[in-house]
Amino acid sequence: MKRRSFLKNMTLASVAAPFALNGMNYQGVAKKLFNYSKSAEDRVLVIIRLNGGNDGLNTVIPLDQYENLLLQRPNVIIPQPNIIQVTPEIGFHPVMTGMNTMFNEGTLTIIQNVGYPEQNRSHFRSMDIWSTGMLDVAETRGWLGRYFDGVYPNYPDGYPNATNPDPFAISMGYEVSSTCQGLMANFSHAVSDPYAAVNLVNTGTANDGSYYGSHMEYLSILINQTNQYADTINAAANAGSSLSTLYDTNNPLAMQLRNVAKMISGGLKTKVYILNVDGFDTHDSQVSSTSPITGNHADLLKRLSDAVSAFQNDLGLLGIANRVAGFTFSEFGRQIASNASFGTDHGDAAPMFLFGSCINSGIIGPNPVISNAVNAQDAVPMQIDFRDVYASILKDWFEVPESEIQPLFEQTITYYQVLGACNVGLDELVDERDKGIVYPNPMLNNATVRFKCQSEWVKIELIDSNGRTIKQLYDSNLAQGIHHVPFELHGLKAGNYFVNVNKASGKETIALVKID
């Protein structure tokens, strides 16, 4: 509890704040120009909903807690040799090779222990909370719906129009997304097949203020919009292309993401795409009874990891990677202890994945701490509030001013640096993604410094806030490229530190927070 309140009140806030030594990063880096899309207008957000409650502990596995995890969930845990080691402290489920590659290439962020206070373990209430971005039961609008309502106040009256010819959001499949529910209507448009031509008949009774009248108006507008939006979606899908060969045609999520890539590359101005993967409610048969690395959860994660990595690959080939970012979420994680049905029951916090070329950091937040006492119903406690993540996405990605974001949420927002790496002006000199980072940050005992260098000598030091060198982390020659150097800080007191990466090509200073 002590650690949790410390985290909440101070540490993460200071991570999000500008660092005193910022600016030193740019010294001596060769000038280059790159094609950032400065305008948030062109940016697209892809949301992947993992429906049912994803078991975070078998997705992002805290390797330093493995012994206790083995006690708690012996029949579902992934055997250690099979785990993909992402960092010395964190492993992925063995099927997540695609996402592991993304992590190493700097296009995947893991946000650990995401949830909200007083976790509700009902699927439906919890999904409502994640969709509305509010704990208030009276709120019926989605978090994006609220945002869109502010920008397009009379929707759906008068839409589409010349300025906004395309749907604001597209929900792939047969259902609209409750994240986009606005006051009057839902801002998302359900698309199961972007190539389908539509020309629906409309007639209609006027809205006389009755329930019936409201349905008539709703249906009438829906039919008009469907006809008009179908034309633009159709045109974009036909004009767009997909270049990656990594999509698996048997993977429905991959096929949907490929359609998303085509619509984006075809010029559709839709800002948000929402996709859904069902099946994460793994009370039983989460893993096969004969082999814990196979089973329903493995199949689901493989589909997710393969599809997202193929999509990211495609965005790169299409030259639109800097315009697209995405994230995954689930209504809750699952309990730490498994049940006898080779499954896990409803839990609390779980990791989110953020992906895209403009992510800031590899890992946000430390590993959960797993007790060696098996207590029924225990789950991973929340450390990062998803509402803060949503707010940070609005700020970094759609560049909404903080003064407009705060009114959309009920909590006092703590901003994280999530998708700001492309938010430097065209006159800036460095690709933020080439900047060194430390992950996880804040850290407990173990972390990794990631940096880019030429073929040169690299010396890495840990210094405290008074500028004293505490520890030498690395001192050797390295080849050109991106490197990951793990280090340990056992016994060091909590506080603010800096990691200096000294290279002939330039010195980088990275702020670091250590917690107990």
Partner 1 sequence: MIPDNNVVGEVSTNMDPYIGAWTKEQAAHLLRRSTFGPTFQQITNAVAAGMNATVTNLLQIPATGLPLSYDPNETISTTGSTWINSVYPSDVTSAQLHENARIKSLGAWLMKRINTENTTIAEKMCLFWQNHFAATLAPDARASYTYHTLIRTHALGNFKQFVKDMTIDPTMLLFLNGATNTLYSPNENYAREILELFTIGKGPQIGPGDYTNYTEEDVAAGAKVFTGYIVEGLRSTTLTSVVSTYYDLLHDQTTKQLSVHFGNQTIAANGATEYADYIDLIFQQEQVAHFISTKLYRYFVNYDITTEVQTNVITIMAQTMLDNNYEILPVLQQLFKSQHFYDIAFRGAIIRNPLEVVFGMFNPSQSVPNFSLATNSDMYISMYYYAQTMGQAYGTPPSVAGWIAYYQAPAFSKLWVNSTTIKSRFDLANYITLYTGIPVNGSNFKVDALTLVNGLSAPNNAVAVIDDLCTVFFPKALSVSQKTLLKLILTGGLPDFEWTVDYDAYAADPTNAAVSNPVKSKIEQVLSRIFQMPEFQTI
Amino acid at 495: G
**Cβ 125 to partner 1 shortest distance, Å:** 6
- The span from the CA of 176 to the CA of 171, in Å, is 6
Of 60-68, 198-206, 467-475, 508-516, which part binds partner 1 (CB under 8 A)?
198-206
> By CB under 8 A, is residue 37 in contact with partner 1?
no
- Decide: is 4 part of the binding site for partner 1 (CB under 8 A): no
Give every CB contact of residue 40 below 8 A, 6+ residues apart in sequence.
397, 398, 399
List of residues 6+ apart from 105 with CB closer than 8 A? none
- Residues 262-281 binding partner 1 (CB under 8 A) are 278
**375 contributes a contact to partner 1 by CB under 8 A:** no
Which one among 29, 222, 320, 478 touches partner 1, defined by CB under 8 A?
222
Q: Please select the residue that binds partner 1; options are 186, 322, 367, 383, rule is CB under 8 A.
A: 186
The one-letter amino acid at 447: A
Choose, by CB under 8 A, the member of 192, 291, 371, 480 that binds partner 1. 192
Q: Give the CA distances from residue 415 to residues 97, 402, 511, in Å, rounded to whole numbers and listed in that order.
A: 30, 9, 17
Q: Which stretch binds partner 1 (CB under 8 A): 27-35, 185-193, 428-436, 492-500?
A: 185-193
Does residue 283 interact with partner 1 by CB under 8 A? yes
The 10 Å Cβ neighbour count of residue 67 is 9
Residue 164 touches partner 1, criterion: CB under 8 A: no
Binding of partner 1 by 196 (CB under 8 A):
yes
Residues of this chain, 343-372, that bind partner 1 according to CB under 8 A:
343, 345-346
Under rule CB under 8 A, residue 218 binds partner 1? yes
Of the chain, the end-to-end C-alpha distance in Å amounts to 11
Which CB, 13 or 255, lies closer to partner 1?
A: 255
Q: Please tell me whether residue 226 binds partner 1 under the rule CB under 8 A.
A: yes
Stretch binding partner 1 (CB under 8 A), from 208-216, 402-410, 440-448, 493-501: 208-216
Residues 6+ away with beta carbon under 8 Å from 82: 94, 293
Assess contact for 120 and 388: CB atoms under 8 A: no
Question: DSSP per residue over 253-304, as a string?
Answer: HHHHHHHHHHHHHTT----EEEEEE-----SS-SS-SS-TTSSHHHHHHHHH
How far apart (Å, rounded) are the C-alpha atoms in residues 403 and 126?
27
- Contacts to partner 1 by CB under 8 A: 118, 120-125, 137, 140, 156-157, 173-176, 178, 181, 183-186, 189-192, 196, 198, 200-205, 207, 209-223, 225-226, 229-230, 278, 283-284, 339-341, 343, 345-346, 376-377
